[in-house]
Structure 1
Amino acid sequence: MKLEVKNLDNGAAGDIELSDAVFGLPPRVDILHRVVTWQLEKRRATARKARERSEVKRTGKKLGNQKGGGTARHGNRAAPQFIGGGKAHGPRVRDFDPGLNKKIRRLGLATALSVKAAEGKLVVVENFDLAEAKTKSLLATLGGLGITSGLFIDGDAVNANFGLASANLHKIDVLPAIGANVYDILNHDTLVLTRAAVASLEARVNG
């Protein structure tokens, strides 16, 4: 698959040959669903538990007489209604650490890239080099490219000026190639890659 490469000023900068094994796969909704679900579950922290009535160390002595005291008939200080008592129906430990093999993760990444390419939402630029870290200038540049919601993926490291200029822009996110993931790719309208990012992603999927 051949795609035109642009500069940030929307000028032509040659062509690039994209691997069909990475950018030309058929859409697989089932694979995308599995990978996105795995990603979102991995974000969740382990739920902490609360001590329930049987786990609280309190006296088991009866508080008073069964009758004649003018109060309720309590028999245990560990009851939930007392300060220091056990939690009624408290949270239990839940560890959200699902597994997903590397083959499915690589297939999911390649499928997400292929979906963007098939939709015409994939843009390849020469690099993200900016003369200065100015958000106003970057907004004008993105306007020229027609991008209002985009994920920008660079090579091994994100260009410093580009990262600073885009830090406060809504729906504009920047990642190095190692951080590319299915959820963020699908969560943005446009995917913008540098030449270095294309090479890194192809090596990552084929590796």
Structure 2
Amino acid sequence: MKITFYLLLILFLGLSSCKEKQEVIADPRDATDTLQIAYQSNKKQEIVLTPSAKNATEGWENYPELVAQIKAIDTVRIGYIRANGKDWISNAALAQTKVRDSFANTAIESRLTVLFTKTNTLVQEASKLEVDTAAVNKEATELYNTFQNLKLQINLKHQKSIEELLEQYEVEADSLSAVKDSTQTRRDSLLRANNVPVQN
């Protein structure tokens, strides 16, 4: 009985000493999640789409979401990027795969690939356990610049060639000439009707 008592005592002491107190470790991302993304100094100036390019993008399914995401980059916090990263990546992928035929050229497809890659990289940087805010800001700036390059390529794709501009100018000049001729003819007929001499 004494042996059983001592064995139970040793067993109880052994089990109670095995319990380790686990410390609660704070998530290091809590400190960086509330930081707002800031562009770096190499941020490009915003490129405005020409009217013909803007009309062409109206039927592009994912383009409005891309615009909204790019405009939101410097207003959101790092935690937002991490929380919504899958949506951002999904939208960039859809924009890349569902590109309209009117945008089908190598330059635009390349910019869309780079945009998808930069979106992935930004989300990865924001999702790291130890977030490097300088790297997040760098990737955000590069994503913004990549989108501006895409808009530039869209403008170039939908700009009119010199021949098209000359043709448009000739059509406008012909229509103005026809209006002038019809106005002159009408004026002359009114003058003749009122017995006023017409000078040629």
Bin for the TM-score computed over the shorter chain: under 0.3
Q: Compare the two structures and name the one with the higher helix fraction.
A: 2
Normalised to the residue count of structure 1, the TM-score between the two structures is: 0.23
Q: Compare the two structures and name the one with the higher strand fraction.
A: 1
Normalised to the residue count of structure 2, the TM-score between the two structures is: 0.24
